[in-house]
Structure 1
Amino acid sequence: MLMAGLVAAAMLGGMMAGSAQANDQPFAAWLQELRAEAVQKGIKQSTLDAALTGIKPIPRVIELDRKQPEFTLTFQQYIDRVVPQSRIDRGRAMMAEHKALLEPISERYGVPARVIVALWGIETDFGRVTGNFPVVEALATLAYDGRRSAFFRKELMDALTILDEGHIAPKAMIGSWAGAMGQNQFMPSSFRAYAVDYSGDGRRDIWTTQPDIFASIANYLSRVGWKSDQTWGRPVRLPNGFDATLAAQKTVKPISEWQAMGVRRANGGDLPTRDLPAMIVQPGGAEGPAFMVYDNFEAILKWNRSTYFALAAGRLSDALGNIDSAE
């Protein structure tokens, strides 16, 4: 075990060597300072002993943080991968299975069940793929690394606070290499701000307690501005000669103005008569598909800043609700 640790430390040192921001302080000394800061913030020594004793930097975390994607997916490739028919079918089955739980949560937070399940499905394939990294160790690795140390140090402190509050045991706090946790993949700061103890057992458990998982997703969207009387958007058909800069510049106009400019539903019908503010989004560029999006699209973007992700979540939610978004 000692040799394995030395090899891991050597690998980590090699990967960090090329970074001007790499931490020159020994990890043990850095960790001791972190513990002192955590104690000052009110975190119990027993929690720190349980969470931090014996931890080491994880070379694989640094490797993943440095890794650049080898290719970029087109929007259609992304949709094919993230919203396949198999996920739609599975999502519909999950909605039926959890209907009795989803309905009151949807009513309470004003977020449709289909949207809750869509985000659950995209984030972790309905709880199947939640990551296999120890969150505290992964966050400590990234906080120590130096490239984005301030961000990850704060997330690490939030993770230690979550442990101190008794929501989860240290060994059970498993997530992605970057510290996203549970079946809805909240970062620790998002957990502290939005996770909900819907089950009433005194713990906010987004790892194994289904009521808390669903309610936390709904609470997040509700708190960041989801409007219960609106949808996220819809695919549209643009007129010949449409000025693509209107989409590129995220121009907002009332639906009636887009209608007057010749924008139509994907099936060619008139746009809705309700005059909501709306934008046109063209994720594949001027020659690709077009969507008209509303305020709830912006709420999804606060969950994940990727336009591809937000459109996929909207498309999947429509499919789960058997909504023909072309109409």
Structure 2
Amino acid sequence: MYFFINSNLMFLFFMFIFSTLMSKTSNSWMGCWMGLEINLLSFIPLISNSNNLLNWEASLKYFLSEPIATINFLFSILVILLLVKKFQIYFFFTTLINSSMMMKMGSAPFHFWFPNIVEGMTSLNCFILMSWQKITPMILMSYYINNNFMMLIILINSLIGAIGGINQTSLRKFLSFSSINNLGWMLLSIMISENLFLIYFIMYSFFISIMCFLFYMMNIYLINQLFIFNFNYMMKFLILLILLSMGGLPPFLGYLPKWIIVNFLMIKNLYIITFIFIMISLISLFFYNRKINCWILFNYSKFKWFNVFIKNKFFWYIIFFSLISSLGTIFTTMYFF
């Protein structure tokens, strides 16, 4: 029975990866649509593969929200192929394609399903939804990019992701709004260069994977648990490095792709947009630092209820890889000179 369950999970992971490759390498829009459908049907069993009712609720919400975006995508493609030469409505339906792909990614202003679904998932599924699930919609959206519409969406993503994470007490919702904020930067990076998008996406996926694995290993779901549990200073320093890198604070590694994007905007004389993005980044850094500083400064033993002792060999690997974020000083210095 155990082998049968593991074989089913391996088959689902294989179909999950195959669907992404199918959409990426397809020469027709119908093949891209088939890849999206296979991805949907392979990811839903991964979400609902648990006895927890929250996982079943998340899978149902995901099943209700994703087909809407897929149907809009298919409708837009069919109308463009059949009617665009007659009625000259190319602009409207390219905008509809971009909107359907942004809904699949959980981008603002189509993000209302995203934090609730992330709240009911396991840590592995949260990592997949916030990283791998953005690859196929991002690539398909790059084929038809409406620059003016996309710039407005990028600003909305950054603003909603920064403001929405301020009053969150759930760590998973906190990561979901951080994902929305970073999605705005990823959309801006793919408008500049695909290589820059690849660099940003790899770094973001790296930090998200460490955070999801740490929360799974420590069994933490709420921010209040960070105050209740008695962590050692090494663990505090570890999470401090990762969160500051995700926030893009210099000189950490997460600052490097954001600095390249800001440098490109300055070269193109987009000073107002650059100023807006910097101010929004300061808002996101505010709620990162507020949670981290309060958690580190509250070190009184009478407020601590439990002692956390992690005896896991993977923890030392995570410490090693998280310290890589401190190498951002070296990379940024080399890029500057």
TM-score under structure 1 normalisation? 0.26
Question: Larger Rg: 1 or 2?
Answer: 1
Of Structure 1 and Structure 2, the greater helix share is in 2
TM-score (norm 2): 0.26
Identify the structure with the greater strand proportion: 1
